[in-house]
A and B are shown apart, each in its own frame.
Chain A
């Protein structure tokens, strides 16, 4: 059964590489689209951190204060995504419009200059990515926070007295599997995302996903598109490995069991 799932998973992915490419594709692809590569990792990185900052307290709150409403709150986190992306984006465009409330307030407090705008800027793209991947951060965080035995936290309070210390020594380490999963679920798809940059950004915000999309569908340069995606996937897998090593998946397991 497990193998079946594994086969289904890996089987579908490789026909793309039968398009055939040469090594020169790689170097060309890399040098031409380096800014978009860098930008993708930058945007995805910032968005992931923002999502983590927003989600951790929310997930903590649902897990420990949610009571019997927990599942309802979980559903509420997901519910905005029942409204198709395009319609959600139109709503954001209404909210962030140049002469809308948000821009007005930001101008009043001089965060934005008088000619400033939010739409069609990097801020808009990063905010949109953060928003659209929020559930992918909240849910795994909740999943691992929820199973922490509250008695452990109480005991650690007695032990350390300072709740900050008890949080950083007990709650945080116990929730690390969730942080790990949440960061991966947010960061990985965010790097390859193209739709947010396309609808809310200008060419100056285009990410590698936009390039691949255009190479694939408009220019129809399949070798370049395949080479670019291969580089992207390889870079992401390297990231996953480094990240797993840094957080130490083994230590994670041990820490959680302790």
Chain B
């Protein structure tokens, strides 16, 4: 037994003895909260206490919403774990700015005031936080569902091969969104998008480095998950040429969506989740994975340093129960990382379960690639890309 493990076990025992010695009612009165994973027997199944409050920061409108604006999945969690309240806040609006916000306390070894946060891997920031030692590891012993139900394609990302620090919340694919009536044909080629004179000034690319550079690298036959100076430069020059010729109208965040809907943009690099929403009002719009390959990004649940590991682990695991995942998915409509959720939705909402943009078939997922996390934190690349989209 290493020192660290023994210390952890010791702490758990201390916590367990605390909860055994106290009458639950009295405990609640003291502000201690209820027992966690059930009463403990031997040393192997020690009980651990959930904190009174678990603070979960997420993006707005990114979880199921019930009749009274409440979140049924969280309510059921609180019901299953009496005495624990989930403080769910929707205060993440942008990866970079959010990182800027929590960077201060983290770099000074202070708590961010959050137990669980959701950040996108394609921003390169989760990987950076792992390197800086700003994330806590999961308490996997408290997570019976997560590692059983995580879909295979998500199990071993290069930046966190064993999912020690991260678990997918939702994912999205990046491909080509377009209006077939305007374009005149089914477009699944990045090269065509960047050069077809018919589309001159009618296309947009994304301001996200990983999405734009990734798709273009794939079109060059290069691997975006292992970026080299050579593959980088090739992609860079290709985009630069399309910028200079005026082929590219704009680089956008998800503000390409209104432009595509209004017909100002005919084809663009687009996120699958946006297309699900756009298609509800504009059934004519289509999304294709480029034949050279699509990109995939994932929003990950993470525990920032000094967050409550046990509480965050139990809560994260909760969302890997297929029944709960199905509820969340039915509202959110991005790509669900939980195996089995589609089977449940097949009964309650077959349209969602059968939508290939929400539950992509394995053949489609096989065409998706993740961007090189190391390249994402390469200052030279970032600077060049900023100059490219801002020159």
Direct contact of A and B (CB under 8 A): yes
Binding site for B on A (CB under 8 A): 36, 90, 93-94, 97-99, 115, 117, 119-120, 199, 201-204, 206, 210-211, 214-221
Measured between beta carbons, the chain A residues less than 8 angstroms from B97 are 217
Interface residues of B in 160-205 (CB under 8 A from A): 201
Known contacts: A217-B96, A218-B386, A221-B379. The answer to whether A94 contacts B262 by CB under 8 A is: yes
CB atoms of B255 and A199 under 8 A apart: yes
Known contacts: A94-B262, A219-B379. The answer to whether A211 contacts B96 by CB under 8 A is: no
Give which listed residue, B201, B263, B386, B388, contacts A115 with CB less than 8 A.
B201
Does B259 make an interface contact (CB < 8 A)? yes
Interface 1/0s, chain B 336-352, versus A by CB < 8 A? Answer: 00000000000000000
Which one of B22-30, B243-251, B274-282, B288-296 contacts A? B243-251
CB atoms of A93 and B259 under 8 A apart: yes
**Whose C-beta in chain B lies nearest to the C-beta of A224?**
B383
CB atoms of B386 and A120 under 8 A apart: no
Given contacts A99-B262, A203-B388, 11 further A-B contacts (CB under 8 A): A93-B262, A93-B264, A94-B262, A99-B264, A117-B264, A202-B248, A202-B250, A206-B390, A217-B96, A218-B382, A219-B379
Pairs across A and B, CB under 8 Å, 10 listed: A93-B262, A98-B262, A117-B264, A202-B248, A202-B251, A203-B251, A206-B390, A211-B386, A214-B390, A221-B383
Nearest Cβ on chain A to B219's Cβ, whole angstroms:
21
Nearest Cβ on chain A to B297's Cβ, whole angstroms:
16
Measured between beta carbons, the chain B residues less than 8 angstroms from A36 are 390
Measured between beta carbons, the chain B residues less than 8 angstroms from A93 are 258-259, 262, 264
CA distance A115 to B379 in the complex (A): 38
8 nearest A-B pairs in the assembled complex, by CB-CB distance: A217-B96, A206-B390, A98-B264, A214-B386, A219-B382, A202-B250, A203-B390, A97-B262
Give which listed residue, A94, A98, A120, contacts B250 with CB less than 8 A.
A120
Binding site for A on B (CB under 8 A): 96-97, 100, 201, 243, 248-251, 255, 258-259, 262-264, 379, 382-383, 386, 388-391
**Whose C-beta in chain A lies nearest to the C-beta of B128?**
A220
Known contacts: A90-B258, A203-B243. The answer to whether A120 contacts B390 by CB under 8 A is: no
CA distance A193 to B379 in the complex (A): 25
CA distance A221 to B262 in the complex (A): 37
Select the residue from B100, B201, B250 with max chain A CB neighbours within 10 A: B250
Q: Total A-B pairs in contact (CB under 8 Å)?
A: 59
Nearest Cβ on chain A to B261's Cβ, whole angstroms:
10
Nearest Cβ on chain B to A28's Cβ, whole angstroms:
11
CB atoms of B262 and A210 under 8 A apart: no
Nearest Cβ on chain B to A114's Cβ, whole angstroms:
12
CA distance A202 to B247 in the complex (A): 12
Measured between beta carbons, the chain B residues less than 8 angstroms from A210 are 390
Measured between beta carbons, the chain A residues less than 8 angstroms from B248 are 202
Known contacts: A93-B259, A210-B390, A214-B390. The answer to whether A219 contacts B383 by CB under 8 A is: yes
Measured between beta carbons, the chain B residues less than 8 angstroms from A99 are 262-264
CB atoms of A218 and B390 under 8 A apart: no
CA distance A202 to B263 in the complex (A): 18
Measured between beta carbons, the chain B residues less than 8 angstroms from A201 are 250
**Whose C-beta in chain A lies nearest to the C-beta of B264?**
A98
**Whose C-beta in chain B lies nearest to the C-beta of A103?**
B264
CB atoms of A211 and B390 under 8 A apart: yes
Known contacts: A199-B255, A202-B249. The answer to whether A97 contacts B264 by CB under 8 A is: yes
CA distance A16 to B390 in the complex (A): 24
CA distance A68 to B190 in the complex (A): 62
Measured between beta carbons, the chain A residues less than 8 angstroms from B386 are 211, 214-215, 218-219
Select the residue from B248, B264, B388 with max chain A CB neighbours within 10 A: B264
Measured between beta carbons, the chain A residues less than 8 angstroms from B100 are 216-217
Nearest Cβ on chain B to A104's Cβ, whole angstroms:
13
**Whose C-beta in chain A lies nearest to the C-beta of B209?**
A218
**Whose C-beta in chain A lies nearest to the C-beta of B382?**
A219
Known contacts: A120-B250, A221-B383. The answer to whether A203 contacts B389 by CB under 8 A is: yes
Measured between beta carbons, the chain A residues less than 8 angstroms from B390 are 36, 203, 206, 210-211, 214
Nearest Cβ on chain B to A31's Cβ, whole angstroms:
13
CA distance A199 to B366 in the complex (A): 34
